[in-house]
């Protein structure tokens, strides 16, 4: 990364001066904290004692057997406290909020996982918490809305535009602009600098553990690391430990929704154009005038029209490959993992799994794939029940 928060031409800070100053202050605090051994020790303690790290790298023997070919390993972020990778970031940002003397935090959420993780960290640190959530997502993820409320957070449904994640981020930025003594706990590796760098740092624990675990288990690096990409935080969390290992193929999986040709997808890297959204430059799904288009995925946590700046640079350089998986393929992978391994994945994670299911049969037995199982699927069970009842998507045994 270059000095000013750019990854090649992507990233940066494209905000009015008052908000740009908030970002400068945050960047300074982040640099001071990460250079402070006491901060690093406290973060490590929270990861071990509160989040439940390290989580396992699990060899999915039944799935491997069923598909034939290379071995599939799952990085079990679903086993973290609150059920997803999002908590790695929120405990880190709660430490920053405390260091800045903030008493109130705000967050945006799509699937509700980041909202739950933010509300959890806020409860732990005694902070007042407001979560913005698109109204459409409050309906799809009603259980997570109630979880946030149980944790003491206020959930504000956002009714503008497509009523999903983009509008929730808009509302959080508007709140921050009106309330400078509020800490904005952003949930993915997106937004103005320093957020992509900070979220990368806090999620980096995923890749560090996975690298150590696969070397211990297999005595060699993986052939592939695969993760779903919404904003890109679980993916960059896993990928960063392998960026220098040129023999490891890095694959990010975007949601093709109902098909790329249908226009109902959220494949920003695959079909977007460089532009500015939410204060940073990245690939954006946009119309001829450059206005963001509504994004769609069966997985609420993936339907964002932009994407993290480092993924844009990895795509351009060719170090990362970005592919797509449809709703239908993700639902099939969701059912396959549930039945063959007894693990119900989040619909977001099922996208990464669906792509791994395509690669595995093309590999030799000694080759390996690490799939980031970014979250558990309890939050999606009701939605999947309705989808499978209403369409011919159920996988028969």
Ligand X SMILES: Cc1ncc(COP(=O)(O)O)c(C=O)c1O
301 binds ligand X (CB under 6 A): yes
Q: Segment contacting ligand X (CB under 6 A): 67-75, 241-249, 285-293, 346-354? A: 346-354
**Helix axes 37-46 and 17-34, enclosed angle (nearest 10):** 90
Are the C-beta atoms of 309 and 282 separated by less than 8 Å?
yes
DSSP 51: I
Pick 26 or 302: Cβ nearer ligand X: 302
Query: Of 213 and 297, which has the nearer Cβ to ligand X?
Result: 297
Q: Which of 19, 51, 84, 253 binds ligand X (CB under 6 A)?
A: 84
Total residues at interface with ligand X (CB under 6 A): 21
80 sits near ligand X (criterion: CB under 6 A): no
Is 114 a binding residue for ligand X by CB under 6 A? The answer is: yes
CB 330 within 8 A of CB 298: yes
Buried b (16+ CB within 10 A) or exposed e, 287-297: eeeeebbbbbb
For ligand X, the closer CB: 326 or 349: 349
Catalytically active residues are 86, 108, 374
Q: Is the peptide bond before 166 cis (omega within 30 degrees of 0)?
A: no
d(CA 130, CA 297): 25
**349 forms part of the interface with ligand X (CB under 6 A):** yes
Find out whether 136 and 130 touch, Cβ atoms under 8 Å: no
Instruction: Pick the piece of the chain touching ligand X (CB under 6 A) from 14-22, 110-118, 315-323, 358-366.
Output: 110-118
Residue 346 touches ligand X, criterion: CB under 6 A = yes
* Nearer of residues 109 and 335 to ligand X, judged by Cβ: 109
Pairing of strands 57-59, 320-326: unpaired
Q: What is the smallest separation between the CB atom of 288 and ligand X, expressed in angstroms?
A: 27
231 binds ligand X (CB under 6 A): yes
Place of tokens 């070919």: 69
> Is residue 213 part of the contact set for ligand X (CB under 6 A)?
no
Taking the alpha carbons of 216, 218, 222, 225 in that order, is the dihedral positive or negative?
Answer: negative
Which stretches of the chain bind ligand X, using CB under 6 A?
84, 110-111, 113-114, 188, 228-235, 301-302, 346, 348-349, 374-375
């Amino acid at each position: 990364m270059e000095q000013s928060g750019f990854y090649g031409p992507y990233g940066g800070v494209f905000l009015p001066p008052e908000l740009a100053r908030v970002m400068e202050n945050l960047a300074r605090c982040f640099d001071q904290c990460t250079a402070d051994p006491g901060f690093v020790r406290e973060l490590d303690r929270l990861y071990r004692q509160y989040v439940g790290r390290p989580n396992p790298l699990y060899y999915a023997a039944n799935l491997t057997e069923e598909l034939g070919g290379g071995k599939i390993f799952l990085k079990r972020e679903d086993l973290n406290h609150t059920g997803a990778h999002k908590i790695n970031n929120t405990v880190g940002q709660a430490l920053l909020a405390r260091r800045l003397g903030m008493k109130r935090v705000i967050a945006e959420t799509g699937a509700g996982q980041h909202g739950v993780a933010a509300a959890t960290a806020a409860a732990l640190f005694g902070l007042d918490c407001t979560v913005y959530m698109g109204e459409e997502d409050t309906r799809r993820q009603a259980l997570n809305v109630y979880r946030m409320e149980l944790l003491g957070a206020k959930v504000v449904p956002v009714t503008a535009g497509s009523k999903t994640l983009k509008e929730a981020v808009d509302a959080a930025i508007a709140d921050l602009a009106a309330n400078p003594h509020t800490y904005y706990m952003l949930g993915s590796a997106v937004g103005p600098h320093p957020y992509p760098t900070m979220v990368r740092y806090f999620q980096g624990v995923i890749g560090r553990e996975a690298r150590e675990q696969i070397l211990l288990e297999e005595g060699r690096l993986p052939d592939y690391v695969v993760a779903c990409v919404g904003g890109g935080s679980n993916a960059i969390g896993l990928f960063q430990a392998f960026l220098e290992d040129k023999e490891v193929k890095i694959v990010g999986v975007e949601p093709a929704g109902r098909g790329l040709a249908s226009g109902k997808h959220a494949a920003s890297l695959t079909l977007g154009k460089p532009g500015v959204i939410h204060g940073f430059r990245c690939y954006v799904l946009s119309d001829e005038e450059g206005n963001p288009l509504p994004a769609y995925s069966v997985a609420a946590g993936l339907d964002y029209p932009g994407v993290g700046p480092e993924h844009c640079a990895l795509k351009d350089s060719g170090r990362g490959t970005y592919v797509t998986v449809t709703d239908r393929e993700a639902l099939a992978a969701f059912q396959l993992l549930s039945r063959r391994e007894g693990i119900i994945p989040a619909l977001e994670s099922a996208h990464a799994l669906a792509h791994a299911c395509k690669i595995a049969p093309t590999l030799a037995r000694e080759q390996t794939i690490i799939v980031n199982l970014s979250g558990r699927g309890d939050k999606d069970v009701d939605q999947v029940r309705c989808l499978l009842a209403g369409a011919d998507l159920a996988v028969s045994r």
